[in-house]
Chains A and B, each alone.
Chain A
Amino acid sequence: MRQVSVKDITKKVRDLCISAACDLEPDVASAIRSALDKEESALGKEVLGQIVENFEIAGREHLPMCQDTGISVFFVEIGREVALDGSLEEAVNEGVRQGYKEGYLRKSVCHPLKRINTGDNTPAIIHTAIVEGGKVKIKIAPKGAGSENMSRLKMLKPAEGVEGIKAFVIETVKEAGGNPCPPIVLGVGIGGSFEKCAILAKKALLRPLGTQNPDNELNALEQELLGKINDLGIGPMGFGGRITALAVHVEASPCHIASLPVAVNIQCHADRHKEVEI
């Protein structure tokens, strides 16, 4: 067994919270710069120009690129040879607590009914998986509400098939309009069960921009959806333009013979994700 200290996890999580909020990952930065080149709308170019200037300032001055520093979502992979010396959940939450306080990030988590802020951005949303090996991999994807609120899940009838899936994805983007801060990234989860397709959609967002789906059929679906979405004309911030989405990522999993669950998770252009391995 390999011993991993939860204190180390807390420290890594603290740092991830702060760097995710301030430093845009190169894959997203490059996708936005290329959108700026391709956009035909003058207003769209103006918006994309401000977005580029913004993430440059944020990175340089260590400021959150967006004031909505999000609810903290984690995907944690724990190698089966790893022995932790304490609670993973407590370690991650303590890291969030420290990161959001010491990084001057906005605490955006509250009781769902009383609407009273928890004050430290906890509890984090933690998805765990036991994997082979002796490492701990922590991925963070802080999620703002502007785009999360426009996300949708639908239990389609199997008869609706792939055409039904496409129609639902496009309808979701159309309905969202300028609200989720386009240009967006779409995570689409197909199959599984009610909760599984939502997690697949979220996971799909973590695939680096500019990488291809290894499944040919899903890759073709992604390209077709991206083309159709960009034909909607919504454009940067919804002011009209060619670039509504930077990418569409699809993940699929077998489902019940009577079901066809589909989840569409919308991510704004401040597509923050970081990972670290211990």
Chain B
Amino acid sequence: MSEPVRISAPLTDAVVEKLKAGDKVLITGVMYTARDAAHKRLIELLNAGKELPLDLKGQIIYYVGPTPEKPGEVIGSAGPTTSGRMDAYTPRLIELGLKGMVGKGARSKEVRDSIIAHKAVYMAAVGGAAALIRRSIKKAEIIAYEDLGPEAIRRLEVVDFPAIVVNDVHGGDLFLQGVEKFRRVS
């Protein structure tokens, strides 16, 4: 296994361009959480011509709905959810400057095309590794939609958050490339 690439968040074009499908990365910096319900509200705001509760430029969205934190703790268990459920909303956010997404599972063609067109990156974290991933989250603060509970938008500060690049700006797709290598049937 090759050594992980350390990247800082928010992301820049220069960093995103260097990432390739299959790269192991450790993310340090800021990420925002959002799932289905928060995405729906963001798109509704855009449709109404209103301002979003966060500036998406360069940011990473982590698809997660953590368990409640115990008293005195930063966050509960916090592994990725299935990214495909956000596909309908994602291209719009990438157009607004969203640079990175972390989740699990495959993305739609529209999202993959948008990643290439606008220089973004889709990364996967290990689904179900929620207690392990939690350790890399040093600070968590709800910045919008508190009523959504686990689905509220949180600003996370992370150190060495482990992820793997799935879709890169060059059209690389780990799901296609990886499975091709190990498939024994046509």
- Residues of chain A touching chain B, judged by Cβ–Cβ distance below 8 Å, are 40-43, 45-47, 50-51, 53-55, 57-58, 61, 63-69, 104-108, 115, 117, 145-146, 149, 177-179, 181, 228, 231-235, 237-242, 268-270
Q: Chain B: interface residue count, which band?
A: 35 or more
Q: How far is the CB of B35 from chain A (nearest CB, A)?
A: 11
Nearest CB of B to A81, in Å:
39
Residue in B37, B76, B127 with the greatest tally of chain A CB atoms within 10 Å: B127
Among residues 130 to 186 in chain B, which have CB atoms less than 8 Å away from a CB atom of chain A?
130-135, 149-150, 162, 164, 174-175, 177-185
Residues of A within 8 A of B179 (CB): 177, 232-235, 238, 240
Which residues of the partner chain A approach B37 to less than 8 Å between Cβ atoms? 115
Report if B53 contacts A (CB, 8 A): no
Q: Given A67-B66, A104-B70, A268-B127, are A178 and B104 neighbors across the interface (CB < 8 Å)?
A: yes
Using known A-B contacts A53-B132, A104-B68, A240-B182, determine if residue A68 contacts B105 with beta carbons closer than 8 Å: no
* B130: A residues at CB distance < 8 A: 54, 58, 63-67
In the docked arrangement, what's the CA distance between A105 and B78, Å?
11
Q: B77 within 8 Å of A by Cβ? A: yes
Q: Can you list 29 A-B contacts with CB-CB less than 8 angstroms, sorted by A residue number? A: A41-B178, A43-B164, A46-B24, A46-B164, A50-B132, A54-B126, A54-B131, A54-B132, A55-B131, A57-B132, A64-B67, A65-B77, A65-B128, A66-B79, A67-B65, A67-B78, A68-B81, A108-B65, A146-B81, A177-B179, A178-B105, A232-B183, A233-B180, A233-B181, A233-B182, A233-B183, A234-B179, A239-B22, A240-B175
Q: Who on chain A is nearest to B183 by CB?
A: A233
A108, A146, A178, A270: the one contacting B106 at CB < 8 Å is A178
In the complex, whether B45 has a CB less than 8 A from a CB of chain A is no
